[in-house]
A and B are shown apart, each in its own frame.
Chain A
């Protein structure tokens, strides 16, 4: 019974997230941070970063992968499925409507104006998660270098996120080995 209650709650949460994921899906991370890290405290910053990086490096859509990983974590396989379904139903409904009125919406100046406004809010929404994430990301000082390298590779050379995660994984092992050699405890 308790489990089904949790699953119902997940469905409602993810339907809300789904309705407000603008900007290619990264804002899902912002919404999960606000709801689960800050308000409900059932997820730490580190764990959110882990889910994001694993979800991003698997094939398919990042946000449904993240939803699957999180849902599985909370309530098993069906928890994952429910999060995925919740996540995709609202966008599907919105877009089905738009498709019906495609020619009316396509070049409508009012719709365009409102959506240009929304796009301006997406950057601060995603950016605001960085503040919290930075706290969870730095076990040791060399981690700052990993951040800088991954940022530059992504922005200037368009390196695929899968490679960034692989580079991160290798440097994680190297940094841990080095720090443990200097007497730091195992992470």
Chain B
């Protein structure tokens, strides 16, 4: 029963959100109505979800599912969040594949591509604010790690997992020891 409730709750969350942080108010509400998490736990899990790999919505699903019904709970909750991907997106994939070379689609994409680059640029800037400003002051070691990573990625073509591992180590040294 609890598994069905989890599935239904997270299916609702999946369909009413468009990725990223827009999910949080919906998740917060759904968790508290069902008494699966307190408000404080929701904000904790958002913080943890942002630090661990994977998107916030799926991480909240795993957390709420694990706490209420163990691993099966985590699996059905994840499945709930994935519903839109497995239905709407799968259908769109078929049509997109078929029409992506049509003249109309190609014209549409002339504008969508730069809009998407603008979005990624916006994301980069807004993430910088939260990553490099700690306790209201600019974090110099943070910026150092950032510049080093950029050079490793662009100049030396170091792989992303290696860059992440190295920055975790440097974070441990800069923010943990000093």
Interfacial residues of chain A within 80-136, with CB under 8 A of chain B in the complex: 80-81, 84, 88, 90-92, 94-96, 98-100, 105-106, 109-131, 133-134, 136
Q: A23-B127, A98-B48, A110-B176 are in contact. Are A161 and B54 (CB under 8 A)?
A: no
In the complex, which of the residues A67, A90, A124 has the most CB atoms of chain B within 10 Å of its own CB atom?
Answer: A124
A: number of interface residues (CB 8 Å): 113
A91 touching B128 by the CB < 8 A rule?
Answer: no
Cα separation A153 to B123 with both chains bound (whole Å): 11
Interfacial residues of chain B within 121-173, with CB under 8 A of chain A in the complex: 121-128, 130-132, 134, 139, 142-143, 145-147, 149-150, 153-154, 159-161, 163-164, 166-172
A155 touching B51 by the CB < 8 A rule?
Answer: no
Q: A60-B19, A172-B107 are in contact. Are A53 and B146 (CB under 8 A)?
A: no
Nearest opposing residue in chain B for A127, CB measure: B124
Q: Is the interface of A mostly helix, strand, loop or mixed?
A: helix
Cβ contacts under 8 Å, A144 to chain B = 114
A24 touching B55 by the CB < 8 A rule?
Answer: yes
Report if A140 contacts B (CB, 8 A).
yes
B55 touching A110 by the CB < 8 A rule?
Answer: no
Report if A29 contacts B (CB, 8 A).
yes
B: number of interface residues (CB 8 Å): 99
B52 touching A98 by the CB < 8 A rule?
Answer: yes
B18 touching A139 by the CB < 8 A rule?
Answer: no
Cα separation A122 to B132 with both chains bound (whole Å): 11
A110 touching B172 by the CB < 8 A rule?
Answer: yes
Cβ contacts under 8 Å, B67 to chain A = 99
Cβ contacts under 8 Å, A65 to chain B = 19, 84-85, 89
Interface residues of A (CB under 8 A from B): 16, 18-27, 29-31, 34, 46, 49-50, 52-65, 67-69, 72-73, 77, 80-81, 84, 88, 90-92, 94-96, 98-100, 105-106, 109-131, 133-134, 136-140, 143-144, 146-155, 160-162, 164-165, 167-177, 186-187
Interface residues of B (CB under 8 A from A): 14-22, 44, 48-59, 62-63, 66-67, 71, 74-75, 78, 81-86, 88-90, 92-94, 96-97, 100, 103-104, 106-128, 130-132, 134, 139, 142-143, 145-147, 149-150, 153-154, 159-161, 163-164, 166-172, 174-176
Would you give 24 A-B contacts (Cβ < 8 Å), ordered by A?
A19-B161, A22-B53, A24-B127, A26-B123, A56-B119, A57-B18, A60-B82, A65-B19, A68-B85, A88-B82, A90-B54, A92-B58, A117-B172, A118-B167, A120-B131, A120-B171, A124-B150, A125-B163, A147-B115, A148-B118, A149-B118, A160-B22, A169-B112, A186-B106
Q: Which 5 A-B pairs have the closest CB atoms?
A: A117-B171, A172-B111, A91-B54, A168-B115, A150-B118
